[in-house]
Structure 1
Amino acid sequence: MSSQIATLLRGKHKPYYAPHIDTGDFVIVVNAEKVALTGKKLDQKRAYRHSGYPGGLRSIAYADLLEKNPERAIEKAVKGMLPKGSLGRQMAKKLKVYAGAEHPHQAQQPVPFEMKTIAQPA
């Protein structure tokens, strides 16, 4: 799912794609709390962040992250697939993630995008 979102944000699905220009679309992701991880990633994978101070590295298991803030898990996954630098930061601002089914962007008349096959763990 994250790779398809990153493709939409970069604009690689458009015929006039250029890697040095932000030609991507705004992307709204709803129902982030229903995201599922395959394998043992839920317990073994960790999300890291650093405050910038010595000893300021903090980590959290993805099981706790999805329970506490499911939007951040999707944002981190997609942001890791975008270019590093100012262009990637500009593209990341176009991603809007919401835990529930409601979002405040109905006035922009968003067009639904059907995801291709998504693997669901059994």
Structure 2
Amino acid sequence: MWHLFDGQWQNPLDAADKIVPYLDGSNKPIFHPLNDSGDHVVLINARDIALPGTEWEKRVYFHHTGYARGATWTLAWQLHEIDPTMIMRKAVYNKLSKNLLRHGRMARLHIFPDDKVPDSILDNISAQIRQQRPVPTRLDHYPQEQVDSFPKIFDWPKDHIIN
């Protein structure tokens, strides 16, 4: 099966916990740790993920080229500017079990930075994984009459408002 997961406003570490059972097949009744019976997961809107607190400035991702002095540490916001899909890819990769099946399971994870998915992949999607956090509605997306009818705590006269 192919599953769709929307990463908008989702914490990558919590989202990885939701995605991993679908990749390794542990959500199925025929699951066995030595068999690879997982499904494909299509993750959209990876550019709009939400790290909590000051994690954008403090979380560091490590990479090594394999050569001497080839170690690099990159902050989360820098890595996200370079490749918007990499933080989700690293989160899911680290949550998968550390065995020889991990690379095959990662091959079934398809990450897209926005909601533009090729039609060849969209035709296969048959289920959706529920988001953990609801996406809040921005204030400028509410109709003006709904904003005006919202109950106010203080009803200030308009001539007292300082611009």
Fold conserved between structures, TM > 0.5: yes
Q: Distance in 2 between matches of 1:109 and 1:37?
A: 27
Q: Distance in 2 between matches of 1:119 and 1:43?
A: 24
CA RMSD of aligned residues (A): 1.6
Partner residue of 2:156? none
Amino acid at match of 2:128: P
Counterparts in 2 of 1:59-70, with a 5 A limit?
A: 59-70=73-84
Unmatched runs of 5 consecutive residues or more in structure 1: none
Following TM superposition, where does structure 1 have runs of at least 4 consecutive aligned residues deviating by more than 4 angstroms?
A: none
> Following TM superposition, by how much is the alpha carbon of 1:68 offset from its aligned partner in structure 2, in angstroms?
2.1
Partner residue of 2:124? 108
Deviations 1:53-77 (A, max 9, x none): 0000112100111222110110000
Number of residue pairs the alignment of both structures matches: 119
Is the alpha carbon distance of 1:47 and 1:119 closer, same or farther for their aligned partners in structure 2, counting shifts above 3 Å?
Answer: farther
Residues 1:42 and 2:56 aligned together: yes
Q: Which moved more, 1:50-59 or 1:101-110?
A: 101-110
Q: Distance in 2 between matches of 1:90 and 1:109?
A: 19
Unmatched runs of 5 consecutive residues or more in structure 2: 1-14, 136-163
Q: Distance in 1 between matches of 2:82 and 2:134?
A: 23
Q: Distance in 2 between matches of 1:119 and 1:112?
A: 15
> Following TM superposition, by how much is the alpha carbon of 1:119 offset from its aligned partner in structure 2, in angstroms?
7.7
- Calculate the TM-score normalised by the size of structure 2: 0.68
Deviations 1:89-116 (A, max 9, x none): 111111010001011212324422222x
Q: Which has the larger radius of gyration?
A: 2
Q: Distance in 1 between matches of 2:50 and 2:75?
A: 14
Counterparts in 2 of 1:1-122, with a 5 A limit?
A: 1-104=15-118, 105-115=121-131, 117-118=132-133
- SS of structure 1 residue aligned to 2:73: strand
Q: Which moved more, 1:103-112 or 1:88-97?
A: 103-112
Percent identical among aligned pairs is: 25
Is the alpha carbon distance of 1:114 and 1:12 closer, same or farther for their aligned partners in structure 2, counting shifts above 3 Å?
Answer: same
Amino acid at match of 1:82: L
